[in-house]
Amino acid sequence: MTSRAPSGQVTAALYVEDVLLVDRCLTGEPAATRELFRRHKHRVHASLFRVLGSNREMDDLLQDAFLQVFQSLRGWRAEASLSTWIDRVAMRCAYRYLSQRSRRIVAEVLDDDVVALSAMTPGHGERRQLARDGVARLYAVLDELSPAARLAFTLHELDGRPLAETAELVGSSVTATKLRVWRARKRIEAAAAADPVLSEFLDPSAGASADALRFDGEAP
Amino acid sequence: MKLSGRIVVEPLDEERLTNIERRVVSGAVDAAARHGLRAPRRISGRVLAMAAVVTAGLAGWALHAPPPPTVAEPAAIRVETSPQQAVLDIGDARIASDPGAGFAVTRPAGGVLVAMTRGKVELEVGKRVGRPPLVVRAGDTDVIVVGTRFTVDYGDGRGDVDVRVTEGVVRVVHQQQETRVAAGYAWRTHGGLIASAEDDPGARAGSAVASEAGPTATPPDADPTRAAPGETVPTRAAIVIAGGPAPAVLHDRKAAVPEAHAASSGVRTGPSRPAAPDAAPVRGARPSDPRGELRDAIRSQPVEPALDLGEANAASAVTRYYDIAAHQSGEAASQAFYSIAVVRHLRLGRNAEALQTLDAYVRRFPGGKEYRAALWLRVRILCLDKLDDRCRAAAYTFVHQAGDAPAARIAERITLSD
């Protein structure tokens, strides 16, 4: 996905194209605004989805994010990739949303029967159901994290962004971001220990990656 | 725990996306309009409408009005001087030229443009309050006048320019940098502003020659602005006034005199500097205006020029700088990045954006070759706008980061200013 490339890898042509497109947007040209929205909508939506989970307010969030982008467009200094800058604005929207306690994310309500799935030998349809339930339980645990930790964890672990980019998007240092991801991971692992569905979803056989991300020195 | 790629994103259907797009585009266009960013378009529309009305009026006038008088204001007046010294009185200015001097006088947009090709001229210009300034162009140097007496020596037309001011103040614009030269001071292409103590006797002699020549040196009917194109005016100094196209020197650059508040090379001096104060006698105002003096000192300090890409259009230049900054690294990227700020400040007059670029530059290239120049440019932009805490903080930073730079003394004065 070229538009996700950090600034160093952005081709000059794309870079100049972004600059010119933004200039056109700043004059209020609707065609340019539409073009910018279309170029970035899928990526921004995917990132918001991974951070917030399945959400009934996703339409509003995506709209808010882009409105923020256009209101702040004059602040884009053109020294960073436009896509990274847009992602940063979108993540600020997500952060604000998460910070509003009254608007807790509505995770899918788990059925009591789902827990019994862990005892079953899963077939194809059951595996899909298991995955769906695993995702729901994962987001239920993520709901308990602080917004900053949730952003850091989801961007790095679920959205697959490098730590440096994650830190840039959430406006923190790499060290602080790494620490937040580590804490979130511990929290999820603790929840998985008591929840076979979540544990199954997380696939404990891949637990080695947790060691790779161990925070330098002792855990705080 | 490997979770990357395991969360399946539920796609938004096209109808929802279309609705979002419609609302976003509408909101974005409204936001742009609220910021007044669409004003240029509205202005363009008005200008077009006015132009249409004026065109229609002119067409009607051409059809019904009597033919215009045969004696029209000449488009350009070429002046060649003989071995004798000559004085040309054009009504709002007197131009005394040394032997061998060559220059052309035009009146674009209500101003006066004296385009020199070689030699030395002395000008005595009446106050031009409310009128576009008089500009003397010598190669890539513009001397902008609002009412003063001074000399411009362009030598053989290929080398340095020497400007000496005997009354009032002029603005010298050279390679996008503006310097105010007050009475008793001189400016040279290499050397910049120098004090009157360094003034050589030659300049004073030139001044005396001009005074001796006086208006009597100009024949009574030699007002070139009223001469017909092609007419030769017999003068003691053998001034040849010829109509027709201006010399090539006028086509080298934009041969239009700017409005009184803007420099002719495209340098915007900012809205905070109206034309009227420039027209006032500055010499008398200076002692009671230390801030003005400080501002003059800031302006007189040269700014490290932008990377020369040969782009006449500033916006195109910025685009090319972006290209370099994105494509290259190290010194080239540093220079291109700094150049973006210079062009935004000096040529586009977008000081807020120039400051943003400079802030980014300082963060991104702390060891960059243009780091000190970037710090000074910050000081210049902030302090020419307002001598406030932000300006003083920038000056303080400059003093501490570039204490041995020539501009450090000015920065130090800024930090101590009220």
Rounded to an integer, the average pLDDT of B298-309 is 88
CATH number, position A123: 1.10.10.10
Cα–Cα distance, B408 to B402 (Å, whole number): 7
My answer on whether B63 and B148 are in the same domain is no
In this predicted structure, the answer to whether residue A104 has a pLDDT above a threshold of 60 is no
pLDDT for res B379 = 92
pLDDT at B36: 53
Condensed to tens digits (0 to 9), the pLDDT of residues B100-133 reads 777 777 666 566 778 787 888 888 887 766 666 7
Chain B CB contacts of A19 below 8 Å: 319, 322
Q: Give the minimum alpha-carbon distance from A96 to chain B in angstroms, rounded to a whole number.
A: 19
pLDDT tier at B213 (50, 70, 90 boundaries)? very low
Question: How many Å apart are CA B144 and CA B257, to the nearest integer?
Answer: 9
What pTM does this model have?
Answer: 0.40
B37 and B108, same domain (yes or no)? no
Asked whether residue A89 falls in the same domain as residue A178, the answer is: no
Q: Tell me which chain A residues have a C-beta less than 8 angstroms from the C-beta of B343.
A: none
Q: Which residues from chain A sit within 8 angstroms of residue B38, using beta carbons?
A: 27-28
Domain boundary among B252, B279, B303: B252
* Residues near B232 by beta carbon (within 8 Å), at least 6 away in sequence: B240, B241, B242
- The residue from A54, A89, A106 where one domain ends is A106
Question: Does A203 or B308 have the greater pLDDT score?
Answer: B308
- CB of B56 within 8 Å of any CB in chain A? no
Is the pLDDT assigned to residue A48 strictly greater than 50? yes
Of residues B361, B34, B187, the one with CA closest to residue A70: B34
Kindly tell me if the per-residue pLDDT of A89 is higher than 90. yes
Residue B75's closest CA among B239, B256, B234? Answer: B256
Give helix A163-170 / helix A82-99 axis angle, nearest 10°. 60
**Residue of chain A minimizing CA distance to B359:** A77
Give yes or no for residue A171 having a pLDDT over 60. Answer: yes
Confidence check: pLDDT of A206 > 60: no
Q: What is the pLDDT of residue A6?
A: 39
Which pLDDT score is estimated for B146? Answer: 66
Q: Is the pLDDT of residue A112 over 70?
A: no
Domain-embedded: residue B193: yes
Q: Are B415 and B392 in contact (CB under 8 A)?
A: yes
- Put simply, whether B386 touches A (Cβ < 8 Å) is no
Q: Nearest CA of chain B to the CA of A175: how many Å?
A: 19
Mutation target among B6, B17, B337, B364 for the A interface, most CBs of A within 10 A: B6
Total domain count for chain A? 2
Is the per-residue pLDDT at A15 higher than 80?
no
pLDDT at residue A91 greater than cutoff 90: yes
Residues A82 and A140 in one domain: no
CA pair distance A10, B318, nearest whole angstrom: 18
- Which of A56, A71, A106 terminates a domain? The answer is A106
Q: Which residue of B has its CA nearest to A69?
A: B28
Give yes or no: residues B327 and B345 share one domain: yes
Are B25 and A25 a contacting pair at CB < 8 A? no
User: Does B325 lie at the interface with A, CB-CB under 8 angstroms?
Assistant: yes
Which residues span the domain enclosing A186?
107-220
Closest by Cα among A5, A1, A44 to A162: A5
Question: Comparing A173-177, B154-158, B277-281, B352-356, which segment has the lowest mean pLDDT?
Answer: B277-281
How far apart CA B407 and CA B297 sit, in angstroms, is: 9
Q: A64, A69, A79: which to substitute to probe chain B, counting the most B Cβ within 10 Å?
A: A79
Tell me, yes or no, whether A18 and A68 share the same domain.
yes
| Single residue among B200, B227, B252 that ends a domain in this structure | B252
**B202 and B230 belong to one structural domain:** yes
Task: Give the residue with greater pLDDT, B226 vs B379.
Answer: B379
In a domain, B373, yes or no: yes
**Which pLDDT value is given to residue B193?**
76
Total count of residues recorded for chain A: 220
Size of the A and B interface in Cβ pairs below 8 Å: 119
pLDDT at A62: 93
Select from A59, A160, A188 the Cβ nearest to the Cβ of B4. A160
CB A41 within 8 A of CB B17: yes
Question: Residue B201: which CATH number?
Answer: 2.60.120.1440
Same domain, A91 and A117: no
- A49/B10 Cβ within 8 A: yes
Cβ–Cβ below 8 Å for A158 and B325: no
Regarding whether B142 and B119 lie in a shared domain, the answer is yes
B322 and B192 within one domain? no
CB contact under 8 A, B323 and A15: yes
Are B232 and B204 in a shared domain? yes
Which amino acid is located at A41 in the chain? Answer: K
| Structural contact between residues B165 and B185, judged by C-beta atoms closer than 8 angstroms | yes
Q: Which residues contact A83 (CB under 8 A, 6 or more apart)?
A: A3, A4, A5, A40, A43
User: What Cα–Cα distance (Å) separates residue B96 from each residue in B124, B162, B298?
Assistant: 8, 16, 32
Question: Is residue B58 domain-shared with residue B88, that is, in the same domain?
Answer: no
Q: B404 falls in which pLDDT band (50, 70, 90)? A: confident
Residue ending a domain, choose from B202, B220, B252 = B252
Q: Which residue has the higher pLDDT, B292 or B203?
A: B292
Q: Are residues A36 and A119 in the same domain?
A: no
Q: Do A49 and B9 touch (CB under 8 A)?
A: yes
Task: Calculate the CA A192 to chain-centre distance.
Answer: 21
| Residue A152 clears pLDDT 90, i.e. is over it | yes
Domain boundary among A54, A78, A106: A106
Are both B39 and B150 inside the same structural domain?
Answer: no
- Phi, psi at residue B119, to the nearest 5°? 80, -165
B135 lies in some domain = yes
Tell me if B136 is assigned to some domain.
yes
- On whether both B120 and B175 belong to a single domain, the answer is yes
The string of pLDDT tens digits covering residues B14-58 is: 888 888 888 888 888 777 776 654 434 333 445 445 555 655 655
Structural domain includes residue B235: yes
**Pairs from B410-416 (Cβ < 8 Å, separation ≥ 24):** B410/B294, B410/B297, B410/B298, B410/B301, B411/B376, B411/B379, B413/B294, B413/B297, B414/B294, B414/B298, B414/B379, B414/B383, B414/B387
Closest CA in chain B for residue A160: B4
Verify that A120 and A213 share a domain, yes or no: yes
Residues B63, B182 within the same domain = no
User: b/e map of B346-368 (b: 16 or more CB within 10 Å)?
Assistant: bbbbbbebbbbbbebbbeebeeb
Helix axes A30-52, B14-34, angle to 10 degrees: 120
Tokens linked to B321: 């700088």
Whether residues A202 and A113 share a domain: the answer is yes
Do B29 and A49 count as a contact with CB atoms less than 8 A apart?
no
Q: Is residue B163 part of a domain?
A: yes
- Inter-chain residue contact A27 with B38, CB threshold 8 Å: yes
> How high is the pLDDT of residue B63?
56
Test the B interface: residue of A33, A48, A81 with most B CBs within 10 Å: A33
Domain that holds residue B42: 23-68
| Residues A116 and A100 placed together within one structural domain of the fold | no
Does the pLDDT value for residue B417 go beyond 70?
yes
Name the residue in chain B with its Cα closest to that of A29.
B29
How far B255 CA sits from the closest chain A CA (Å)? Answer: 29
CB contact under 8 A, A59 and B16: yes
d(CA B256, CA B251): 10
B284 lies in a domain?
Answer: no
Beta pairing class for B134-138 and B141-145:
antiparallel
Q: What is the DSSP string of B114-143?
A: EEEEESEEEEEE---TTSPPEEEEETTEEE
Q: A77 and B360 in contact by Cβ < 8 A?
A: yes
Q: Which chain A residues contact residue B354 at CB under 8 A? A: none
Q: What are the DSSP calls for B271-328, one per residue?
A: TTS-HHHHHS-HHHHGGG-HHHHHHHHHHHS--PPPP----SSHHHHHHHHHHHHHH-
CA distance B216 to B31: 64
Q: For residue B29, give the nearest of A19, A86, A33 by alpha carbon.
A: A33
Question: Are both A118 and A210 inside the same structural domain?
Answer: yes
Nearest to B105 by CA among B133, B142, B129, B76: B76
Q: What is the CATH number of the domain that holds A38?
A: 1.10.1740.10
Residues of chain B contacting residue A66, judged by C-beta atoms under 8 Å apart: 20, 24, 28
* pLDDT for residue B43: 38
* pLDDT score, position B120: 85
- Per residue, the 3-state secondary structure of B84-103, as one string, reads CCEEEECCCEEEEECCCCEE
Residue B326 has pLDDT above 70, yes or no: yes
Domain shared by A22 and A95, yes or no: yes
Report CB contact under 8 Å: B337, A12: no
Number of structural domains (chain B) is 3
B94 neighbors B151 (Cβ within 8 angstroms): no
With bands split at pLDDT 50, 70 and 90, how would you rate the model's confidence at B264? Answer: very low
Out of B95-99, B322-326, B372-376, the most confident range is B372-376
Q: What's the complex ipTM?
A: 0.74
DSSP B222: -
In a domain, B45, yes or no: yes
| Lowest model confidence (mean pLDDT) among A4-13, A68-77, B231-240 | B231-240
Whether pLDDT at B217 is above 70: no
Are B9 and A46 a contacting pair at CB < 8 A? yes
Average pLDDT over residues A142-161: 91
Compute the mean pLDDT over every residue in chain B, rounded to the nearest whole number: 68
Distances in Å between the Cα of B278 and the Cα atoms of B78, B133, B262, B291, B320 are 29, 10, 11, 15, 35
Residue A203 and residue A138 share a domain = yes
- Tell me: do B119 and B225 sit in the same domain: yes
Residues of B49-85 as b/e, b for ≥16 C-beta within 10 angstroms?
eeeeeeeeeeeeeeeeeeeeeeeeebebbbbbbeeeb
The answer on A88 and A152 residing in a single domain is: no
pLDDT higher than 90, residue A108: no
How sure is the predictor about A156, in pLDDT bands with cuts at 50, 70 and 90? very high
Question: Rounded CA gap, B147 and B165, in Å?
Answer: 11
Give the domain CATH number at B351.
1.25.40.10
